Structures are given as C-alpha cells and as structure tokens.
Amino acid sequence: MFNEIPMSTEHSKKDAERIHTRRRAEERLGRPIGKHQYQVLNQKLQEKDPAQVRFLWRTSNTRAVYAVKMDGEWLPVAYNKRTKQAITILPLNVLDRYLHILGDEYVVRD
C-alpha cells in the first residue's frame, strides 16, 4: 500500500519520517496505520501519559524508544523529540526484554 509513495528529494524530514513509520507499521504489524492513527500516536508520545507511553531507552540526544499502547497493544516506537513525531515502529519482539516496565499488560510473543 505505502510502497506506492515515491521517496523523492522534495520531501521534508518530517514527511520522510512519517512515510517511513507508516511503511514499517504495515511491514511489522501486518496492517497499515492511517493518518489519524499516526496523529494519535504522536499525540500520545508528546503527552507521555504513563498509562499509554513507557520510556524504554535513549538512542541519542534527540531520539528515544518508547512503548506506546495503541488499540490495546504495546508497540515499540522510536521518537524524534526535535520533529516531535514517531520515526519508526520497531519489531514487536523488542518489547520482550522490557517486561519489568510493561508489567502484566504485556504478553510475550512466540
């Protein structure tokens, strides 16, 4: 679905991050995330409500990885605090080593 979006040099950094995140969501979750879901994801990351978002690790001064609860499922999401948006969805098995942070709400995947 998102493979139809051509990557050109005319995209801004924010556009590139949005396109990349939506492509990775479809690849790794097996379903696309729409424009509204992407906006909700970014809003949750900006608000950082502990019931919906848990910090996992920092990758640089401007980027960190969070577990974000979307539709009852925890998703590992890399976030760019400079552009204030998600930059990718990581493979779901990344969360398996963070049970101590996610608690009983997370189910380990086989």
Name residue 91's amino acid. Answer: P
Residue 2 lies in a domain: no
Q: What is the pLDDT of residue 102?
A: 77
Residue 36 lies in a domain: yes
Residue 4 lies in a domain: no
The tens digit of pLDDT for each residue in 16-46 reads: 888 889 999 999 999 889 999 999 999 999 9
Residue 23 lies in a domain: yes
| Mean predicted lDDT score pLDDT of the chain | 86
E runs forming strands in 35-96: 53-58, 63-70, 73-80, 85-89
Residue numbers of the domain that contains 61: 10-105
**CA distances, 88 to each of 33, 35, 41 (Å):** 12, 15, 11
Q: What is the pLDDT of residue 13?
A: 86
Residue 87 lies in a domain: yes
- Number of structural domains (the chain) is 1
The tens digit of pLDDT for each residue in 53-73 reads: 999 999 999 999 999 999 888
Residue 76 lies in a domain: yes
Residue 40 corresponds to which tokens in the numbers above?
A: 């909700």
Q: What is the rounded average pLDDT of the residues 86-95?
A: 92
